[in-house]
Amino acid sequence: MMNIAVFCSGNGTNLQAIINAVKSRKLKSVKIALVVSDNPGAYALARAKKAGIKTLVVERSQFAAKSDFEKQIIGSLKKENVRLIVLAGFMRIIGEDILREYKGKILNIHPALLPSFKGAHGIKDAFDYGVKATGVTVHLVDDKMDHGPIILQEAIPVKGNDTLESLESRIHKVEHKLYYKAIDLLVKGRIKIRGRKIGII
């Protein structure tokens, strides 16, 4: 059994998809030991509580330095024996303390085909740019935003009659089926990292 923590700042639909995958045993040998949020108002916290998962709220504004904020989080992760961090709409850049402690053990999901359209508005930026295809990327986290080696990626065509809302909804559906698959690969030790390239065995 691998204990994981899911970090969220908002709605938490990706968290919900992971909770559902664990419950339905599509994702086995995983326990969501903690949900961490930097936002006390995040709906993700209500989802976690409903599922009986422990939660931790840590607000960045309560700490003078980022390092103190991260050390507080690391303390709770250690206490829960967390071995993998899953970022699911966590709107903060992971700093050097957490990166050092969980090197190669942090996943992120981004709603665009990286390296295009990094940042907080990947769906809208791709839509406004007029791309004919965008998608979803699950990657390992390194010290640059939306940058680490790619585990899974799925392209999604943009249709002529798409609105931002219709595109968003298709992208979220793909996110919800892709993320737990990437977690499953990692938990099963099926990921081999060679530089930027990830092989799946």
Q: Which residues make up the interface to ligand GRF (CB under 6 A)?
A: 8, 10-14, 88-89, 109-111, 175
Pick 20 or 71: Cβ nearer ligand GRF: 20
Pick 10 or 104: Cβ nearer ligand GRF: 10
Return the structure tokens found at 152: 């899974």
Q: Is the dihedral of CA 196, 190, 154, 26 positive or negative?
A: negative
| CB of residue 51 to ligand GRF, shortest distance in Å | 14
Backbone angles phi, psi at 63, to 5 degrees: -125, 140
Set 110, 121, 139, 176: catalytic member: 110
| CB of residue 201 to ligand GRF, shortest distance in Å | 26
Return the structure tokens found at 48: 């976690």
* CA separation for the pair 194, 61 (Å, rounded): 38
Please state at what angle helix 43-50 crosses helix 13-23, rounded to 10 degrees: 10
| CB of residue 164 to ligand GRF, shortest distance in Å | 13
Catalytic: 110? yes
Pick 9 or 82: Cβ nearer ligand GRF: 9
Q: Report the phi/psi class of residue 181: left, alpha or beta, with left for phi > 0 and alpha for psi in -120 to 50.
A: alpha
Pick 44 or 99: Cβ nearer ligand GRF: 44
| CB of residue 106 to ligand GRF, shortest distance in Å | 13
Please state at what angle helix 13-23 crosses helix 164-187, rounded to 10 degrees: 40
82 CB contacts (<8 Å, ≥6 apart)?
Answer: 3, 4, 5, 33, 34
- Side chain identity at 35, as an amino acid letter? V
The residues carrying an active-site annotation are 110
